[in-house]
Amino acid sequence: MDFSDAHTDIVSTVVSEEEIAKGLARMARAIEADLADKTPLLVGVLKGAIMVMADLARELRIPVEMDWMAVSSYGRSTKSSGVVRILKDLDSSLEGRHVLIVEDIVDSGLTLSWLLENFESRGAASIRVASLLRKPDAMAVEVPIDYLGFDIPNEFVVGFGLDFAERYRNLKGIGVLNPEVYRDEA
Ligand code: 5GP
C-alpha cells in the first residue's frame, strides 16, 4: 500500500520506500563483512520486524537461518508499558550460534535490552543487533545497535511492518500517523 492510498491517515513521510531499500542494502553490506563465514541466525521480533526481516534477509549475500520471537508490545496504545512478555519463543537453540536480532524500531530500548539479556543466558556465541529505525530515547540507554538504518524523530510512526492497532503494516514507506487516529485510544 502506498501513502497515497492512505492519505487521510499519514501526515508526513519519515522514511520513503526508496530510502528503506538503500538503508537495508547498506546494513546488509556491513553484516556480510562481519558474519560472512558464520551462518548467522537472524531472529526477527514479531510482528513489526516481518518486512525488515524479509527484505534484509533477501539483500544478504551470505547463508543465514531465520527464527522468530514474539514479545508483548504496545498493543493498541502508543506508549510503552515497559513490560516484556514472551508470546512466542524461538524454535532454535542459541547454543554456540552467532545471533543477529532483527528489529523494526528501538524506542525506549526496553525490549532490546531484555532480549539481549535473555539471549546471553542461552549460550549464544555472539549477539548483534540490526534495527531499521531508532528513536531519540534509545540513545539515552545502553542499547548497542550494530547495524542501524535511520535515526528518526520522537513521533509515532507506522508502515513497513509497524502498526497502529494492527493496521498500516502493509504501507511500503514509513510515515507519521495523524494523531486524530489514536487520540481517543492512547
Ligand atoms: P521499545 O521497547 O524500544 O520502547 O520499543 C518496543 C516496541 O515498541 C517496538 O518494537 C515497536 O513494536 C513499538 N514501537 C516503538 N515506537 C513505535 C512507533 O513509533 N510506532 C509503532 N507502530 N510502534 C512503535
Q: Amino acid letter at 170? A: N
Share of the chain above pLDDT 70, in %: 91
Ligand 1 and 80: CB distance under 6 A = yes
105 lines ligand 1 (CB under 6 A): yes
Mind listing the pLDDT tens digit for each residue in 63-76?
Answer: 999 999 999 855 44
Ligand 1 probe mutation, 116, 162, 177, 182, most atoms within 8 A of CB: 162
pLDDT, position 122: 95
Cell of 74: 504496545
Mean pLDDT for 130-149 is 88
Can you give the three-state secondary structure of 121-182, one letter per residue? CCCCCEEEEEEEEECHHHHHCCCCCCEEEEECCCCCEEECCECECCECCCCCCEEEECHHHH
Closest residue CA from atom 17 of ligand 1 = 156
Whether the CB of 129 sits within 6 Å of ligand 1: no
Strand arrangement of the beta sheet that strand 174-177 belongs to: 10-15, 174-177, 157-158
**Phi, psi (rounded to 5 degrees) for 47:** -95, -15
Crossing angle (nearest 10°) for helices 17-35 and 50-59: 60
Q: Which residues are catalytic?
A: 107
Provide mean pLDDT across the span 116-135: 95
Write the CA distances from 31 to 15, 59, 63, 113, integer angstroms. Answer: 21, 10, 12, 20
Please work out whether the CB of residue 44 comes within 6 Å of at least one atom of ligand 1.
no
Residue 115 has pLDDT above 60, yes or no: yes
Instruction: Output the pLDDT for position 75.
Output: 46
Which residue has the CA at smallest separation from atom 5 of ligand 1?
Answer: 107
CB 79 within 8 A of CB 105: no
Global pTM value = 0.92
At 1-15, the pLDDT tens digits run 888 876 678 999 999
Scanning the structure block, which residue is given the C-alpha cell 499519514?
Answer: 10
Residue with more model confidence, 45 or 184: 45
CA angle 169, 174, 179 (to 5 degrees): 85
